[in-house]
Amino acid sequence: MDERPKETYDLVIEVVATYGLDVIGAIVILIVGFWFAGRARNWTTKALNKVERIDAMLTGFLSNTVKYVVIVVTVLAVLDRFGVETTSFVAILGATGLAIGLALQGTLSNVAAGVMLLFFRPFKVGDFIENGGQTGTVKTVSLFVTHINTPDNVEIIIPNNALWGSAIKNFSYNTTRRVDFVFGIGYDDDIDKAMALIEEIVGADERVHKTPEPVIVVGELGASSVDLIVRVWCAAGDYWALKWDTLKGVKQRFDAEGISIPYPQTDVHLYKTDAAE
């Protein structure tokens, strides 16, 4: 009788007896771990959805991060079940992560900046912003880059690290804005008359807010003109239309009333002197 089948059978029995419980335990750990990873992601998503400041994209990113952290812990627990030295494994994993982090330093900095933008929300999609000399309407915000459209409909893609690392002007953040004007009139013109005309023009425009009240003052005695400073408040959406209409209206009214808007000029005075003997 061949003894090899019996030896194989005995070997299988020995392996099952030795590692059977470990295999069953590993399978149980994997099932429970992957189940808990999904539940942890759902719990994180529900918790973050209750926070208004956190964007939906950031919610998805953080929820998936929690899920994968649980999966990594589960895999380490399974390896430990079979006697694998997880400390060395974690060290190798950490070193690998450090190497990848150094190699992708610029990309990871964009991700970090994207997380900050999505969490603190200095602007939202549809806002008109200025950053690093670029001005436009925000179209999309991702973890890596932000897309804005300029007023002449040119798309600009800004890395989040550059965006977060410099001052951001959000022209849409407040519901009202102040419009500033400087109107120069001649030194021979009637200042009070010019100020009264401007007050009449801005007072008749329904877009100009009554509170705060419009400000019309003599701002400076310039080299060739008396400069009148005008400051009015309006809704943010009326800013440019009000500015353009007021400039046109004041110019036409000044022309009709004989108020001059002088060109920059320099007066040169010549004095006759006797030639030196």
pLDDT at residue 178, as a whole number: 95
Whether the pLDDT of residue 268 is over 60: the answer is yes
| C-alpha atoms less than 13 angstroms from C-alpha of 82 in its C-beta half-sphere | 13
Specify the pTM: 0.62
The side-by-side arrangement of strands in the sheet containing 134-141 is 155-159, 145-149, 134-141, 128-131, 168-170
CB–CB of 257/227 below 8 Å?
no
Q: 3-class DSSP state for residue 79?
A: helix
Q: Which residues pair with 193 in a beta bridge?
A: none
Return the higher-pLDDT residue of 46 and 92.
Answer: 46
Structural domains of the chain in order of their starting residue, each with its CATH number: 4-103 (1.10.287.1260), 122-170 (2.30.30.60), 176-257 (3.30.70.100)
pLDDT per residue as tens digits for the range 55-95:
666 676 677 778 878 888 888 777 776 666 666 666 666 66
Range with the lowest mean pLDDT among 1-10, 134-143, 230-239? 1-10
Q: What is the mean pLDDT of residues 111-117?
A: 82
Q: 3-class DSSP state for residue 182?
A: strand
Helix 56-81 to helix 105-120 angle (10° resolution) is 130
pLDDT per residue as tens digits for the range 130-166:
988 889 999 888 778 889 999 899 999 998 888 888 8
